[in-house]
Structure 1
Amino acid sequence: MLKTVIFDMDGVIVDTEPVHKYAYYKHFEELEIEVSDELYASFTGNSTRNVFQKVKENFQLQHEVEDLILRKRFLFNDAFDTKEDLHLIEGVEDLIKELHYNEVELILASSASKGTIQRVFNRFNLHQYFTHTVSGEDFPKSKPHPAIFLHAASLSIHPKENCIVIEDSTNGVEAAKAADIYCVGYRSSNSNLQDLAKADRIVNHFNELDVLNLKKGF
């Protein structure tokens, strides 16, 4: 029986991907490197640290990973704070409120940094609905490694068997399945290069999900 929903954040709750992409490519331009769309798509679901570890290795950069992270976060935060047209994904707020009203526990498990999670949750007043937020920066390995979802499930007051994950990326879906957790794949406008085939269920809009059909499908 469904008792806990573990949400990814970027591309599932809020569409910060365009802001991340702007910040990354602005930084790549400063570094004078060319990152292909295919390589960038493979970063989806990875923490900033893991992204720059891969970039450093791929392009043989001499920069310290910590310095790369700090510069990208500055560019992201600057863009995030000045971007007025940043909204929650259509339908997700209603789903979050319905789940919360029906006493389904909500946990966030995002590859985003703690600072970015805090910014999003403060801007959209989401803290009241979630019992825990888990950041990928606390784990040495990013999705598709299952560590973040295993930890999120361990924080739930219910057994892992009563949890589901909502994800929009190849790496996120693979991480959920590696953690042996039921996974709903959300096909967002930014996930056209993502393979969600391993998800237990795929939806194109959050109006396809509610407490009753989640429990039925689960």
Structure 2
Amino acid sequence: MINAVIFDMDGTIIDSEPIYEKVNEEIYEKYGLELSQEDHDRHLGANLKDIWTDILDRYQVKEEYAHYKLEDFMEDHIHSSYQGLAENEELELMPGVKEWFEFLKDHGYKMIIASSSYSPVIEHIYQRFELDQYMEGYVGADSIENGKPAPDIFLKAAEKLGVRPEECLVIEDSQHGVQAAYQAGAKVVAFNRAQDESQDLSQADLIIEEFNQENLNKVLR
């Protein structure tokens, strides 16, 4: 029986991907990096520690940044992501997702955010859209040891809600996220608004393209 719903944040409850694409383009250019589309697809849903570990294993940054440590790149990227979101006045919740929040709250479901973003970024979104009226907090990449596709983030989210993972429904938009939720033992719904074929979402119990009442009814069956 489903008693709780765990929402991913970026690309799921907010349409932040275009903002991050711009941020990533600027920050990679700053360091003299030219990542392939395959790199971008592989990094979708992963946390910054894993992303930058992969980048630094495979690419060489500009000589002026050669002394930087992994943490320096991460800190710069987190700051840039926060700034990119904060300065974008057009950022909104995904169409229909607020109605899902209200329905789930009215029907007694516990809710929480589990995101590969870091706490300062999540906190900004949490406050900006007043998500505290629906959610019981959040779990970010900086509060777990292993990022998606490891199940850690969803196991911690379930623990924070006081429920078992198998009582949870996870809403995710990335291959890494779907795999992590599946490994955690939760029911998984993939949100594939962009119909992105680069992401293998086959481990999801259901794939939806929009947040509407019809899909909500399917999800809660």
* TM-score, length of structure 2 as denominator length: 0.91
Residue 21 (str. 1) matches residue 27 (str. 2): no
Q: Equivalents in 2 of 1:124, 1:202: separation in Å?
A: 26
How far has the Cα of 1:104 moved from its partner?
0.4
Which position in structure 2 is the counterpart of 1:6?
Answer: 6
Moved over 6 A (4+): none
| CA contact 1:168–1:191 (8 Å) conserved in 2 | no
Query: What's the secondary structure of 2:5's corresponding residue?
Result: strand
Correspondent of 1:119 among 118, 124, 148: 124
Q: Equivalents in 1 of 2:145, 2:165: separation in Å?
A: 22
Residue 69 (str. 1) matches residue 74 (str. 2): yes
Give me the CA root mean square deviation: 1.5
Runs of 5+ unmatched residues, structure 1: none
Residue 41 (str. 1) matches residue 47 (str. 2): no
| CA contact 2:178–2:203 (8 Å) conserved in 1 | yes
Q: Equivalents in 1 of 2:77, 2:159: separation in Å?
A: 31
Partner amino acid, structure 2, of 1:172:
G
Which position in structure 1 is the counterpart of 2:215?
Answer: 209
For each residue in 1:81-106, what CA deviation from the matched residue of structure 2 results, as whole angstroms up to 9, or x when unmatched? 22121111111111011101111000
Which position in structure 2 is the counterpart of 1:155?
Answer: 160
| CA contact 1:8–1:167 (8 Å) conserved in 2 | yes
Q: Equivalents in 2 of 1:190, 1:140: separation in Å?
A: 31
Aligned length: 215
Query: What's the secondary structure of 1:150's corresponding residue?
Result: helix
Partner amino acid, structure 2, of 1:23:
V
Query: What's the secondary structure of 2:76's corresponding residue?
Result: helix
Residues 159-198 of structure 1: pairs in structure 2 closer than 5 A: 159-189=164-194, 191-198=196-203
Partner amino acid, structure 1, of 2:99:
D
Which position in structure 1 is the counterpart of 2:51?
Answer: 51
Residues 205 and 163 (structure 1), Cα distance of their counterparts in 2 relative to 1, 3 Å cut: same
* TM-score, length of structure 1 as denominator length: 0.93
Residues 120 and 190 (structure 1), Cα distance of their counterparts in 2 relative to 1, 3 Å cut: farther
| CA contact 1:95–1:209 (8 Å) conserved in 2 | no
Q: Equivalents in 2 of 1:46, 1:190: separation in Å?
A: 19
Correspondent of 1:138 among 133, 143, 151: 143
| CA contact 1:3–1:105 (8 Å) conserved in 2 | yes
Q: Equivalents in 2 of 1:14, 1:190: separation in Å?
A: 16
Residues 190 and 48 (structure 1), Cα distance of their counterparts in 2 relative to 1, 3 Å cut: farther
Q: Equivalents in 2 of 1:196, 1:101: separation in Å?
A: 30
Residues 190 and 125 (structure 1), Cα distance of their counterparts in 2 relative to 1, 3 Å cut: farther
| CA contact 1:95–1:206 (8 Å) conserved in 2 | yes
Partner amino acid, structure 2, of 1:162:
E
Q: Equivalents in 2 of 1:86, 1:209: separation in Å?
A: 24
Partner amino acid, structure 2, of 1:209:
N
How far has the Cα of 1:24 moved from its partner?
1.4
